[in-house]
Amino acid sequence: MHEVVIAGVGQTAVGEKWEISLRELAFYALEAARVDAGGLRPQALYLANSLAPALSHQSHLATLVADFSGLNGIEAASIEGAGASGGLALRQAYLAVASGLVDIAMAIGVEKMSDQTVSGVHEAEATTTDSDYEAEQGLTPTSQAALLMQRYIYEFDVPEFAFGGFPVIAHENGVHNKNAMFQKAIRPELYQRVGKVSDPMNMFDIAPAADGAAAVILTRPELLPGEFLHPLVRISGSSVVTDTLALHDRPKPLEFNAVRVSVERACRQAGRLPSDMDMFEVFDAFSIYAAMTLEAAGFAEYGMGWAFAQNGKLSLDGELPISTFGGLKARGNPSGATGVYQAVEAVLQLRGNAGENQVQGAELAMIQSLGGPASTVATHVIEIVH
Protein backbone atom coordinates (compact mmCIF):
# COMPACT_ATOMS: atom_id res chain seq x y z
CA MET A 1 0.00 0.00 0.00
CA HIS A 2 1.00 3.60 -0.58
CA GLU A 3 1.51 6.34 2.00
CA VAL A 4 -1.41 8.78 2.09
CA VAL A 5 -1.29 12.44 3.15
CA ILE A 6 -3.85 15.19 3.53
CA ALA A 7 -2.79 18.00 1.20
CA GLY A 8 -5.73 20.38 1.55
CA VAL A 9 -8.65 21.16 3.84
CA GLY A 10 -11.73 23.37 3.54
CA GLN A 11 -14.87 24.12 5.50
CA THR A 12 -17.87 26.41 5.62
CA ALA A 13 -19.12 28.09 8.75
CA VAL A 14 -21.65 25.91 10.58
CA GLY A 15 -25.13 27.14 11.44
CA GLU A 16 -28.55 27.71 9.94
CA LYS A 17 -27.69 28.63 6.37
CA TRP A 18 -31.12 29.51 5.03
CA GLU A 19 -29.62 31.41 2.12
CA ILE A 20 -27.29 28.66 0.87
CA SER A 21 -28.45 25.51 -0.92
CA LEU A 22 -27.17 21.99 -0.33
CA ARG A 23 -25.05 21.98 -3.48
CA GLU A 24 -23.65 25.46 -2.80
CA LEU A 25 -22.62 24.48 0.73
CA ALA A 26 -20.71 21.51 -0.67
CA PHE A 27 -19.13 23.64 -3.38
CA TYR A 28 -17.76 26.21 -0.90
CA ALA A 29 -16.00 23.52 1.15
CA LEU A 30 -14.74 21.72 -1.97
CA GLU A 31 -13.34 24.91 -3.45
CA ALA A 32 -11.73 25.96 -0.17
CA ALA A 33 -9.96 22.59 0.05
CA ARG A 34 -8.77 22.86 -3.54
CA VAL A 35 -7.40 26.36 -2.96
CA ASP A 36 -5.71 25.16 0.22
CA ALA A 37 -4.11 22.34 -1.78
CA GLY A 38 -2.76 24.73 -4.41
CA GLY A 39 -5.48 23.89 -6.94
CA LEU A 40 -5.19 20.10 -6.90
CA ARG A 41 -8.01 18.50 -8.89
CA PRO A 42 -9.41 15.35 -7.29
CA GLN A 43 -9.96 12.33 -9.54
CA ALA A 44 -12.46 10.82 -7.13
CA LEU A 45 -14.95 12.38 -4.75
CA TYR A 46 -16.38 10.49 -1.78
CA LEU A 47 -19.32 12.40 -0.45
CA ALA A 48 -20.61 11.86 3.07
CA ASN A 49 -24.23 12.71 3.69
CA SER A 50 -26.78 11.17 5.96
CA LEU A 51 -30.14 12.82 5.44
CA ALA A 52 -30.43 14.63 2.09
CA PRO A 53 -32.80 12.05 0.54
CA ALA A 54 -35.29 12.80 3.31
CA LEU A 55 -34.52 16.46 4.03
CA SER A 56 -33.83 17.81 0.53
CA HIS A 57 -35.39 15.09 -1.66
CA GLN A 58 -31.96 14.67 -3.20
CA SER A 59 -30.05 11.42 -3.54
CA HIS A 60 -27.31 10.75 -6.15
CA LEU A 61 -25.61 13.66 -4.41
CA ALA A 62 -21.92 12.92 -5.05
CA THR A 63 -22.44 13.18 -8.80
CA LEU A 64 -24.47 16.37 -8.40
CA VAL A 65 -21.75 18.01 -6.29
CA ALA A 66 -18.97 16.98 -8.68
CA ASP A 67 -21.01 18.38 -11.58
CA PHE A 68 -22.01 21.63 -9.84
CA SER A 69 -18.42 22.22 -8.69
CA GLY A 70 -16.91 22.11 -12.14
CA LEU A 71 -15.48 18.63 -11.72
CA ASN A 72 -17.69 17.06 -14.37
CA GLY A 73 -16.42 13.62 -15.31
CA ILE A 74 -14.56 12.62 -12.15
CA GLU A 75 -15.36 9.50 -10.16
CA ALA A 76 -17.96 10.07 -7.45
CA ALA A 77 -19.85 8.03 -4.86
CA SER A 78 -22.07 8.89 -1.91
CA ILE A 79 -21.14 7.22 1.38
CA GLU A 80 -23.52 6.82 4.30
CA GLY A 81 -23.35 5.49 7.84
CA ALA A 82 -25.42 7.99 9.85
CA GLY A 83 -23.18 10.19 12.03
CA ALA A 84 -20.13 8.19 10.94
CA SER A 85 -20.65 9.08 7.27
CA GLY A 86 -17.82 11.62 7.32
CA GLY A 87 -15.38 9.13 8.80
CA LEU A 88 -16.47 6.50 6.29
CA ALA A 89 -15.89 8.86 3.35
CA LEU A 90 -12.43 9.65 4.69
CA ARG A 91 -11.79 5.92 4.93
CA GLN A 92 -12.88 5.33 1.29
CA ALA A 93 -10.72 8.18 0.04
CA TYR A 94 -7.82 6.73 2.04
CA LEU A 95 -8.31 3.22 0.61
CA ALA A 96 -8.59 4.59 -2.94
CA VAL A 97 -5.29 6.47 -2.69
CA ALA A 98 -3.59 3.68 -0.74
CA SER A 99 -4.44 1.25 -3.54
CA GLY A 100 -2.46 3.32 -6.03
CA LEU A 101 -5.44 3.30 -8.41
CA VAL A 102 -6.50 6.84 -7.54
CA ASP A 103 -3.88 9.59 -7.27
CA ILE A 104 -5.95 12.37 -5.70
CA ALA A 105 -9.18 11.78 -3.79
CA MET A 106 -11.48 14.10 -1.90
CA ALA A 107 -13.61 13.23 1.11
CA ILE A 108 -16.35 15.79 1.46
CA GLY A 109 -19.20 15.91 3.93
CA VAL A 110 -22.29 18.04 3.57
CA GLU A 111 -25.56 18.28 5.45
CA LYS A 112 -28.42 20.76 5.14
CA MET A 113 -30.80 20.33 8.03
CA SER A 114 -32.48 23.72 8.26
CA ASP A 115 -34.71 23.25 5.21
CA GLN A 116 -36.99 20.99 7.22
CA THR A 117 -39.16 21.34 10.29
CA VAL A 118 -37.70 20.07 13.55
CA SER A 119 -40.09 17.10 13.48
CA GLY A 120 -39.02 16.41 9.91
CA VAL A 121 -35.39 16.28 11.05
CA HIS A 122 -36.24 13.91 13.90
CA GLU A 123 -38.21 11.68 11.54
CA ALA A 124 -35.26 11.58 9.13
CA GLU A 125 -32.77 10.92 11.93
CA ALA A 126 -34.93 8.07 13.20
CA THR A 127 -34.22 6.18 9.94
CA THR A 128 -30.64 5.75 11.19
CA THR A 129 -31.86 3.54 14.07
CA ASP A 130 -33.15 -0.02 13.54
CA SER A 131 -36.29 1.28 11.90
CA ASP A 132 -38.48 -1.84 12.21
CA TYR A 133 -37.79 -2.25 15.93
CA GLU A 134 -36.62 1.12 17.28
CA ALA A 135 -38.04 4.01 15.21
CA GLU A 136 -41.24 1.94 15.01
CA GLN A 137 -41.58 2.42 18.78
CA GLY A 138 -40.97 6.14 18.57
CA LEU A 139 -37.26 6.04 19.30
CA THR A 140 -35.01 8.75 17.83
CA PRO A 141 -31.23 9.08 18.20
CA THR A 142 -31.81 11.70 20.89
CA SER A 143 -34.14 9.56 23.01
CA GLN A 144 -31.76 6.63 22.49
CA ALA A 145 -28.94 8.68 24.02
CA ALA A 146 -31.23 9.72 26.87
CA LEU A 147 -31.96 6.06 27.65
CA LEU A 148 -28.23 5.34 27.74
CA MET A 149 -27.57 8.30 30.03
CA GLN A 150 -30.37 7.22 32.37
CA ARG A 151 -28.97 3.72 32.57
CA TYR A 152 -25.45 5.08 33.10
CA ILE A 153 -26.59 7.27 35.99
CA TYR A 154 -28.41 4.31 37.53
CA GLU A 155 -25.57 1.79 37.12
CA PHE A 156 -22.70 4.02 38.16
CA ASP A 157 -24.51 6.19 40.65
CA VAL A 158 -22.86 9.39 39.41
CA PRO A 159 -23.42 12.80 41.02
CA GLU A 160 -26.01 15.23 39.68
CA PHE A 161 -24.80 17.33 36.71
CA ALA A 162 -21.90 14.89 36.28
CA PHE A 163 -21.76 15.37 32.50
CA GLY A 164 -21.53 19.15 32.54
CA GLY A 165 -17.80 19.14 31.90
CA PHE A 166 -18.25 18.19 28.25
CA PRO A 167 -20.45 21.07 27.04
CA VAL A 168 -18.45 23.54 29.14
CA ILE A 169 -15.21 22.53 27.38
CA ALA A 170 -16.84 22.45 23.95
CA HIS A 171 -18.32 25.92 24.31
CA GLU A 172 -15.06 27.27 25.71
CA ASN A 173 -13.27 26.02 22.60
CA GLY A 174 -15.98 27.34 20.30
CA VAL A 175 -15.44 30.94 21.39
CA HIS A 176 -12.54 31.61 19.03
CA ASN A 177 -13.71 29.42 16.14
CA LYS A 178 -15.29 31.76 13.59
CA ASN A 179 -16.85 28.71 11.88
CA ALA A 180 -18.62 27.54 15.03
CA MET A 181 -22.38 27.75 15.34
CA PHE A 182 -22.06 28.93 18.96
CA GLN A 183 -19.13 31.18 19.85
CA LYS A 184 -20.03 31.75 23.46
CA ALA A 185 -18.70 30.11 26.61
CA ILE A 186 -21.11 28.70 29.17
CA ARG A 187 -20.61 28.45 32.92
CA PRO A 188 -21.26 25.24 34.87
CA GLU A 189 -24.05 27.09 36.71
CA LEU A 190 -25.90 27.64 33.44
CA TYR A 191 -25.61 23.93 32.57
CA GLN A 192 -27.17 23.15 35.92
CA ARG A 193 -30.02 25.60 35.47
CA VAL A 194 -31.44 24.81 32.04
CA GLY A 195 -34.43 22.51 31.70
CA LYS A 196 -34.42 18.93 30.51
CA VAL A 197 -35.00 18.32 26.81
CA SER A 198 -35.02 14.53 26.78
CA ASP A 199 -34.75 13.45 30.40
CA PRO A 200 -32.09 13.16 31.84
CA MET A 201 -30.43 15.18 29.03
CA ASN A 202 -30.71 18.96 29.05
CA MET A 203 -30.21 21.34 26.15
CA PHE A 204 -26.44 21.42 26.66
CA ASP A 205 -26.10 17.64 26.52
CA ILE A 206 -27.24 17.60 22.88
CA ALA A 207 -25.29 18.94 19.90
CA PRO A 208 -27.39 21.08 17.57
CA ALA A 209 -28.52 19.94 14.12
CA ALA A 210 -26.87 22.30 11.64
CA ASP A 211 -25.93 23.05 8.06
CA GLY A 212 -22.34 22.79 6.95
CA ALA A 213 -19.79 21.22 4.65
CA ALA A 214 -16.14 20.26 5.01
CA ALA A 215 -13.62 18.68 2.67
CA VAL A 216 -10.14 17.17 2.67
CA ILE A 217 -7.91 16.25 -0.28
CA LEU A 218 -5.79 13.11 -0.05
CA THR A 219 -2.87 12.13 -2.21
CA ARG A 220 0.47 10.35 -2.19
CA PRO A 221 3.29 12.61 -0.98
CA GLU A 222 5.54 11.80 -3.95
CA LEU A 223 2.98 13.39 -6.27
CA LEU A 224 3.42 16.78 -4.60
CA PRO A 225 6.21 19.30 -5.19
CA GLY A 226 9.07 19.05 -2.70
CA GLU A 227 8.34 22.51 -1.31
CA PHE A 228 4.61 22.35 -0.67
CA LEU A 229 2.41 25.18 0.53
CA HIS A 230 2.14 23.89 4.08
CA PRO A 231 3.21 20.91 6.20
CA LEU A 232 1.67 17.60 5.18
CA VAL A 233 -0.34 15.40 7.50
CA ARG A 234 -0.10 11.64 7.12
CA ILE A 235 -2.97 9.20 7.73
CA SER A 236 -1.15 6.56 9.73
CA GLY A 237 -4.10 4.60 11.12
CA SER A 238 -7.59 3.98 9.77
CA SER A 239 -10.29 1.68 11.04
CA VAL A 240 -14.03 1.16 10.69
CA VAL A 241 -15.81 -1.20 13.09
CA THR A 242 -19.52 -1.88 13.59
CA ASP A 243 -21.70 -3.04 16.46
CA THR A 244 -25.39 -3.96 16.63
CA LEU A 245 -27.60 -1.30 15.09
CA ALA A 246 -30.28 -1.72 17.77
CA LEU A 247 -29.29 -0.81 21.29
CA HIS A 248 -31.45 -3.59 22.77
CA ASP A 249 -29.29 -6.22 21.08
CA ARG A 250 -26.25 -5.39 23.24
CA PRO A 251 -25.38 -7.53 26.23
CA LYS A 252 -23.52 -4.56 27.77
CA PRO A 253 -25.16 -1.41 26.46
CA LEU A 254 -22.91 0.87 28.54
CA GLU A 255 -19.76 -0.28 26.76
CA PHE A 256 -19.08 1.14 23.31
CA ASN A 257 -17.41 -2.02 22.12
CA ALA A 258 -16.88 -0.85 18.53
CA VAL A 259 -15.09 2.25 19.86
CA ARG A 260 -12.70 0.04 21.83
CA VAL A 261 -11.90 -2.20 18.86
CA SER A 262 -11.68 0.61 16.32
CA VAL A 263 -9.27 2.64 18.48
CA GLU A 264 -7.14 -0.45 19.07
CA ARG A 265 -6.90 -1.17 15.34
CA ALA A 266 -6.23 2.38 14.20
CA CYS A 267 -3.54 2.79 16.88
CA ARG A 268 -1.95 -0.57 16.09
CA GLN A 269 -1.71 0.34 12.40
CA ALA A 270 -0.15 3.68 13.35
CA GLY A 271 2.25 2.01 15.79
CA ARG A 272 0.98 4.25 18.58
CA LEU A 273 -0.91 4.00 21.84
CA PRO A 274 -4.03 6.02 22.66
CA SER A 275 -1.97 7.61 25.42
CA ASP A 276 0.45 8.94 22.79
CA MET A 277 -2.24 11.21 21.31
CA ASP A 278 -1.76 14.96 21.60
CA MET A 279 -5.48 15.51 21.03
CA PHE A 280 -8.70 13.62 20.30
CA GLU A 281 -11.59 14.90 18.20
CA VAL A 282 -14.30 13.01 20.03
CA PHE A 283 -17.89 12.52 18.82
CA ASP A 284 -19.73 14.58 21.42
CA ALA A 285 -23.16 14.52 19.73
CA PHE A 286 -24.42 13.86 23.28
CA SER A 287 -22.47 14.36 26.52
CA ILE A 288 -23.07 10.71 27.38
CA TYR A 289 -21.42 9.63 24.10
CA ALA A 290 -18.30 11.64 24.91
CA ALA A 291 -18.06 10.01 28.34
CA MET A 292 -18.67 6.48 27.03
CA THR A 293 -16.18 7.01 24.19
CA LEU A 294 -13.38 8.09 26.53
CA GLU A 295 -14.04 4.96 28.59
CA ALA A 296 -14.14 2.52 25.68
CA ALA A 297 -11.06 4.10 24.12
CA GLY A 298 -9.16 3.41 27.33
CA PHE A 299 -8.76 6.96 28.61
CA ALA A 300 -10.97 6.38 31.67
CA GLU A 301 -12.46 3.52 33.68
CA TYR A 302 -16.02 2.48 32.82
CA GLY A 303 -18.31 4.75 34.79
CA MET A 304 -15.64 7.45 35.19
CA GLY A 305 -15.52 9.13 31.77
CA TRP A 306 -17.55 12.10 33.06
CA ALA A 307 -14.94 12.79 35.76
CA PHE A 308 -12.21 13.05 33.13
CA ALA A 309 -13.98 16.21 31.90
CA GLN A 310 -13.44 17.94 35.24
CA ASN A 311 -10.60 20.29 36.25
CA GLY A 312 -9.41 21.15 32.75
CA LYS A 313 -7.97 17.73 31.93
CA LEU A 314 -9.67 17.83 28.48
CA SER A 315 -9.08 21.53 27.80
CA LEU A 316 -6.72 22.86 25.13
CA ASP A 317 -3.82 22.92 27.59
CA GLY A 318 -4.91 19.79 29.43
CA GLU A 319 -3.89 16.13 29.42
CA LEU A 320 -5.97 15.19 26.36
CA PRO A 321 -7.51 18.14 24.54
CA ILE A 322 -10.85 17.18 22.94
CA SER A 323 -13.34 19.05 20.73
CA THR A 324 -10.60 21.58 20.07
CA PHE A 325 -12.69 23.87 17.83
CA GLY A 326 -15.88 23.41 19.83
CA GLY A 327 -16.74 19.85 18.92
CA LEU A 328 -20.18 18.83 17.74
CA LYS A 329 -21.71 20.74 20.64
CA ALA A 330 -20.44 24.26 19.90
CA ARG A 331 -19.15 24.04 16.31
CA GLY A 332 -22.47 22.34 15.48
CA ASN A 333 -23.36 18.89 14.16
CA PRO A 334 -24.13 18.80 10.43
CA SER A 335 -24.65 15.06 10.72
CA GLY A 336 -22.98 13.43 7.70
CA ALA A 337 -20.41 16.23 7.44
CA THR A 338 -19.22 16.08 11.03
CA GLY A 339 -16.56 13.41 10.54
CA VAL A 340 -14.91 15.51 7.84
CA TYR A 341 -15.02 18.65 10.01
CA GLN A 342 -13.08 16.69 12.62
CA ALA A 343 -10.42 15.86 10.04
CA VAL A 344 -10.17 19.48 8.89
CA GLU A 345 -9.82 20.75 12.46
CA ALA A 346 -7.22 18.16 13.43
CA VAL A 347 -5.15 18.97 10.33
CA LEU A 348 -5.20 22.68 11.24
CA GLN A 349 -3.97 21.74 14.72
CA LEU A 350 -1.11 19.59 13.43
CA ARG A 351 -0.04 22.27 10.96
CA GLY A 352 0.04 24.77 13.81
CA ASN A 353 -2.65 26.86 12.13
CA ALA A 354 -5.31 26.66 14.82
CA GLY A 355 -4.86 30.22 16.06
CA GLU A 356 -6.41 30.83 19.45
CA ASN A 357 -7.48 27.18 19.49
CA GLN A 358 -3.98 25.83 19.03
CA VAL A 359 -3.00 22.76 21.05
CA GLN A 360 0.65 23.55 21.71
CA GLY A 361 3.03 21.06 20.12
CA ALA A 362 0.29 18.89 18.63
CA GLU A 363 1.90 16.35 16.28
CA LEU A 364 -0.39 13.33 16.62
CA ALA A 365 -4.18 13.32 16.66
CA MET A 366 -7.04 10.85 16.76
CA ILE A 367 -10.42 11.63 15.20
CA GLN A 368 -13.52 9.53 15.49
CA SER A 369 -17.09 9.73 14.24
CA LEU A 370 -19.97 7.53 15.38
CA GLY A 371 -23.09 6.34 13.58
CA GLY A 372 -25.83 5.78 16.15
CA PRO A 373 -24.71 4.67 19.65
CA ALA A 374 -21.33 3.57 18.25
CA SER A 375 -23.11 1.20 15.85
CA THR A 376 -20.63 2.36 13.24
CA VAL A 377 -17.28 3.74 14.35
CA ALA A 378 -14.68 5.33 12.08
CA THR A 379 -11.35 6.14 13.72
CA HIS A 380 -8.33 7.77 12.11
CA VAL A 381 -4.90 8.53 13.50
CA ILE A 382 -3.09 11.36 11.72
CA GLU A 383 0.32 12.88 12.29
CA ILE A 384 2.48 15.68 11.02
CA VAL A 385 5.09 14.73 8.40
CA HIS A 386 8.51 16.04 9.39
Q: Which stretch binds a copy of itself (CB under 8 A): 34-42, 68-76, 145-153, 322-330?
A: 68-76
User: Which region, judged by CB under 8 A, interacts with a copy of itself, from 72-80, 211-219, 295-303, 309-317?
Assistant: 72-80
Can you give 100-151 as a three-state secondary structure string?
Answer: CCCCEEEEEEEECCCCCCHHHHHHHHHCCCCCCCCHHHCCCHHHHHHHHHHH
* Strand 376-384 with 233-242, pairing: antiparallel
Cis peptide before 321 (omega within 30 of 0): no
Per-residue x/- mask for a copy of itself, residues 170 to 209, rule CB under 8 A?
Answer: ----------------------------------------
CB of 287 to a copy of itself, least distance (A): 22
Binding mask 209-238 for a copy of itself (x = CB under 8 A): -----------------------------x
Give the containing element (helix H, strand E) for 365: strand 364-371
Please list, residue by residue across 340-365, b when 16 or more beta carbons sit within 10 angstroms of its beta carbon and e when fewer do.
Answer: bbbbbbbbbbbbbebeebbbeebbbb
Least gap, CB of 253 to a copy of itself (angstroms): 14
Q: What is the dihedral of CA 129, 261, 49, 77, to 10 degrees?
A: -120
Q: Are 26 and 86 in contact (CB under 8 A)?
A: no
User: Count of CB atoms within 10 A of residue 67's CB?
Assistant: 14
Q: How far is the CB of 99 from a copy of itself (least distance, A)?
A: 4
72 binds a copy of itself per the rule CB under 8 A: yes
Q: Is 63 in the site for a copy of itself (CB under 8 A)?
A: yes
Please count the residues of this chain forming the interface with a copy of itself, following the rule CB under 8 A.
64
Report the residue from 206, 241, 279, 314 that binds a copy of itself according to the rule CB under 8 A.
241
CA angle 255–256–259, rounded 5-degree value? 140
Question: Which of 9, 17, 32, 80 is close enough to bind a copy of itself by CB under 8 A?
Answer: 80
**Any contact of residue 261 with a copy of itself (CB under 8 A)?**
yes
Stretch of 70-78, 114-122, 283-291, 344-352 contacting a copy of itself, by CB under 8 A: 70-78
Which sign, positive or negative, has the C-alpha torsion 111, 118, 121, 154? positive
Q: Is residue 137 close enough to count as binding a copy of itself by CB under 8 A?
A: no
Per DSSP, what are the bridge partners of residue 286?
206
98 is an interface residue for a copy of itself by CB under 8 A: yes
CA–CA gap between residue 22 and residue 52 (Å, rounded): 8
The minimum distance between CB 150 and a copy of itself, in angstroms, equals 23
88 contacts a copy of itself (rule: CB under 8 A): yes
Q: Which of 41, 60, 248, 268 binds a copy of itself (CB under 8 A)?
A: 60
Burial degree of 113 (CB within 10 A; 0-12, 13-18, 19+): buried
Enumerate binding residues for a copy of itself (CB under 8 A).
Answer: 1, 21, 23, 44, 50-51, 53-54, 56-60, 62-64, 66-67, 72-82, 88, 91-92, 95-96, 98-102, 124, 126-132, 135, 238-246, 249, 258, 261, 371-372, 375-376
